Amino acid sequence: MLFALVTITALLAPAGATETEPPFVGGPTISGTPSVGEMLTAKAGSWTDLRGQIYFQWRACRGTQPDRTCAVRVAVGHQHACAKLEGSAFQCWGYPQDAQIPQDIGGVADVSAGFSSTCARSETGRVRCWEDYGRDRVDYPVPTDLPPIGQLSSRRRDACGVVAGTGEVRCWGPNLHGQSTVPDYLPPVSQVATSL
Threshold 0.85, pTM exceeds: no
**What is the model's pLDDT at position 25?**
41
Which amino acid does the sequence have at 100? Answer: Q
Q: Is the pLDDT of residue 36 over 70?
A: no
Residue 61: the pLDDT is: 63
**Average pLDDT score over residue span 12-36:** 40
| Listed ranges 34-38, 66-70, 117-121; the one with the highest mean pLDDT | 117-121
What is the chain's alpha carbon radius of gyration, rounded to the nearest angstrom? 20
Residues 129-165 pLDDT 10s: 887 644 445 556 677 788 898 888 887 777 888 888 8
- The pLDDT tens digits of the residues spanning 7-23 come to 333 333 334 444 443 33
